[in-house]
Amino acid sequence: MDSTALAPGAQEAEALAVNLVDRLAAHPACLGRSGLGLAFESGTSLTALATDLTLTPEELSALYRQGFAAREALAALDPAHWQTPVWDACAGRGGKTRLLLEAGLAPVLASDTHQGRLKALARELAPFAEDGRLVVFRARADEPPQFPEGALPGGAGPMSILLDAPCTGLGTLSRRPDIKWKRTPGDAANLVRTQAAMLRQAFETLAPGGTLFYVTCTINPDENQGQVSRFLESEPTARLAGTWATGPEIPTGEFFYSATLSKAD
């Protein structure tokens, strides 16, 4: 198992939350800790942890699975200080969407092309949708999005966009070693073109004065630094505000890259 983290309801009691994480961090299978996130050895199940540590049903329900390296990558972008509204343009099942919501951002507009992933996202994050903090809709990130009516106050574009772009995934080989047998040079070239189209569309959708956060989980420079450099050369209103990459000390051995791009007013 990559990691566990505390669900929103458990955070209402900070002392209890920290105590629970302390207990989990002491488990022999725990590889590392980041705030309320924990990395565990592959194959470690929540059921096994509950048995070993005699967790109550309430404590067990306060935990959820999430990629540790992905959590670290988003935390490095300091989402608590992002401008709103926020568009999570490639939300998938909502792992990063959850973190944006837990950071206090609202509204968060989450979209994906895959209906099954969107259904899972809506089901798992239903409490956020019920109080209006989350809006879920289907959209392609490389085409102009059709935001639900009323989702963007004032009718302007999102002030912050998270583009967790599809990539070769070569930064996750420690968890998914089969990728190296599945990816071809042609796959990489196709993904570079797809990323470029998404990056262009996301930046066009971004409100003036807003910020776009481009994220991948690959070590391929053409999908990371090269992609961003080509975009900056072609877009005079964009400025590179910073880049980040996973450090070698991460216990799961995974790698993420991100670039922060600001748009002129």
List active site positions. 217
Pair type for strands 63-65 and 37-40? unpaired
Q: Are 109 and 137 in contact (CB under 8 A)?
A: yes
Angstrom distances, CA of residue 136 to CA of 35, 52, 92, 94, 133: 28, 37, 11, 10, 10
Q: Are 6 and 36 in contact (CB under 8 A)?
A: yes
Q: Which residues contact 11 (CB under 8 A, 6 or more apart)?
A: 17, 36, 102
Tokens of 84: 């709103």
Angstrom distances, CA of residue 5 to CA of 38, 46, 88: 7, 11, 20
Q: Which residues contact 106 (CB under 8 A, 6 or more apart)?
A: 84, 132, 133, 134
Question: Residue 120, SS3?
Answer: helix
